[in-house]
Amino acid sequence: MNQYSQPQAIMFADVSGSSALYKRLGNESAKAIIDECVQFMTALTIVHEGTLVKTIGDEIMARFDKAGQACEAAIAIQLRAIKEPHLKELGIRIGIAYGEVLITADDVFGDQVNSAACVAQIARANQIVITQATVDALSPQLRRDCQMFDRINIKGEQEETVIYRLQWEHTGNNNRATMVVPLDDITGFAEKFQLQLQLKKGTTLLLPEQTPFAIGRDLNRAQLLIESEFASREHCHIEFRRGKYVLVDHSTNGTYVYQEDQPPIYLRREELPLQGKGFIGLGQTLTGEHEWAIHFSL
């Protein structure tokens, strides 16, 4: 398993009050509202250069290279939420922690993950609660909006630590309201960030929150099955990173990527951002008419 350690800001954003919403509106109507919340939280994570790690029911977990990116994303999420009339009875609570974590292809592990989950649980609806290490890593402008909130024992720690509330409602943050305008049309966002994968036998439409997306010969491990003798069981996967879909090869025979007006690019234990249109061959050179040519378009 490929894994590495790196400082990251971990964010949990959770829809508060969803249980009552299900009881009041019924399953279908409530789920539609929750799904929309999860979608715009994901969208704003990506816009602020974050990586969606996973969705857990009505909650998302994301990671960012910088603490400031995570806090700006959290502010944008709260600003978006208060603009939605049908979210008035709900709220979003967010927790952020910053520090060294262990990153794998599809998850993140470490104390900071536990810390972010802990402060997210402490936060009430419409609040952003962050750790001391997060505050220390912020710009002076963002730090001015942080108010001491409590002293707690985070799980696994013996000593109390100070946690802070990021006051996103502060008048100094009004200029951030423009950051959510391009996302008022969630459908437009989905179309902009949609990746189409096409084989002769069918088409798959991929959105950022559906990655990492595995491709290979093993039905139990791959979401796109390629029954070719040249394909490895877990040949490659596609992930969404900083606004781009990236093809990551981890196969024996390598992967060939054919992009518009370019010679084929050979990858072996390497990665490549996908751009425009083209097609992919697993473990062999091939033409666009081949049965196992995976056509892609953005």
Q: What distance, in Å, lies between the first and last C-alpha atoms of the chain?
A: 29
Q: Which domains does the chain have, with CATH numbers?
A: 3-188 (3.30.70.1230), 193-297 (2.60.200.20)
Q: What is the pLDDT of residue 162?
A: 86
The Cα 62–Cα 146 span in angstroms is 21
Q: What is the pLDDT of residue 149?
A: 86
Residue 136 backbone dihedrals phi, psi, to 5 degrees: -60, -25
Q: What is the pLDDT of residue 158?
A: 67
The Cα 261–Cα 143 span in angstroms is 48
Length of the chain: 298
Q: What is the pLDDT of residue 81?
A: 84
Burial class (CB in 10 A: 0-12, 13-18, 19+), 127: buried
Q: What is the pLDDT of residue 174?
A: 47
Q: What is the pLDDT of residue 226?
A: 94
Q: What is the pLDDT of residue 66?
A: 96
The Cα 237–Cα 239 span in angstroms is 7
Residue 70 DSSP SS3: helix
Burial class (CB in 10 A: 0-12, 13-18, 19+), 8: buried
The Cα 296–Cα 274 span in angstroms is 8
Tokens of 105: 């292809």
Print pLDDT tens along the chain (298 aa): 578 999 999 999 998 877 777 888 788 888 888 888 888 899 899 889 899 999 888 899 999 999 999 999 999 999 888 877 666 667 899 999 999 999 987 789 999 999 999 999 999 889 999 999 999 999 999 998 998 888 888 766 667 788 999 998 764 444 454 344 344 444 555 555 688 899 987 888 887 767 889 999 998 889 999 999 999 999 999 987 766 789 999 999 999 999 887 889 999 999 999 988 999 999 999 999 999 999 999 8
Residue 203 and residue 60 in contact, taking contact as beta carbons nearer than 8 Å: no
For residue 198, give the H/E element and its range: strand 195-199
